[in-house]
Amino acid sequence: MESPKSANLSAMSTYLARLGARTRSVGSVLCVGMDPTPEALPAGFSHDLAGVERFCELLLEATLPYAAAVKPNLAFFEAFGSAGIATLERLRALIPTDVPFVVDAKRGDIGSTAARQAVALFDFLGCDAVTVNPYLGSEAVEPLIARGDRFAYLLCRTSNPGAGELQSLWVAGDPDSGAPAEPLYARVARRARNWGPGGTVGLVVGATASRELAEIRAIAPELALLVPGVGAQGGEIEPVLRHGPASAPPAGEWPGGGLLVSISRGISGAVSDAGSTPGVHAPDAGATLAAAASDWSVRLRLPS
């Protein structure tokens, strides 16, 4: 019998179904990150918004064949004001509809504000999924997780060095829900299981916290994970591929188990890294980006 939470939604209308189809198509859980800064652009690209747009166009052209999803960081475009948002809108138009567009926005506010954020992100920018700060609770998150065809990844245990300052704080057990005393990140994972209409909530869990990743997966075996921190931040692939895929519906029923592993500098920085090698001629930027994406795609091949 169909769950009331999934009633009136055709299977392929959901974000998890679209992600699963794309993951199967490319055979990988690679999510290509897009967070360009002018000063970090390789030689041949102007250190301004025009250079950023040109580089991102090349990045998309080179990496889309290998990408299960694309994840721009909204702040890197907002920093240029309205012109930066217009640039992101043009880049979004280059991404085929079968490639999930996940915007790292880290939104989250009181309900009325979150409702307007949902309109901006989903209706105007065309996001398939967004990252959300759950700190204000389920009521504030609700507008961003209420749509059956869109998705929100809640910040749970992030990859930055200072993540544990608050996320690892111990919280008391909750006799009403039966939750034990546990770290805050664990409580977020536990609560998130019951938020939204079903199939619209996942978690952000950093690869730099492999022990916590395994713990969170045990608490929430059905939730999709977006995992940053592999590569430049030092996170290891093996624990992510072992614990990252969901083992239960809704995410667990799709190829890859709803897992996305975000790689940004590991791909976009490949051109600069190749160009800085002594005795090596300046690389073909597009070919270098494609080679980096191909390599990461193989390393993040679809878990069996």
The gap from C-alpha 51 to its chain's centroid, in whole angstroms, comes to: 24
Q: Among 25, 27, 32, which residue's Cα sits nearest to residue 263? A: 32
Q: DSSP letters of 198-241?
A: SS-EEEEE-TT-HHHHHHHHHH-TTSEEEE--BSTT-B-HHHHH
Secondary structure letter of residue 119 according to DSSP: I
- Contacting residues for 219 by C-beta, under 8 A, at least 6 apart: 186, 189, 190, 193
Task: Decide if 252 contacts 258 (C-beta within 8 A).
Answer: yes
Q: Examine the residue annotation and report whether 106 is marked as an active-site residue of this protein.
A: yes
CA atoms of 61 and 278, how far apart (whole Å): 28
CA atoms of 274 and 291, how far apart (whole Å): 11
Q: Which of 24, 92, 106, 147 is catalytic?
A: 106
SS3 112: helix
Q: Is the peptide bond before 250 cis (omega within 30 degrees of 0)?
A: yes
Active site amino acids: 106
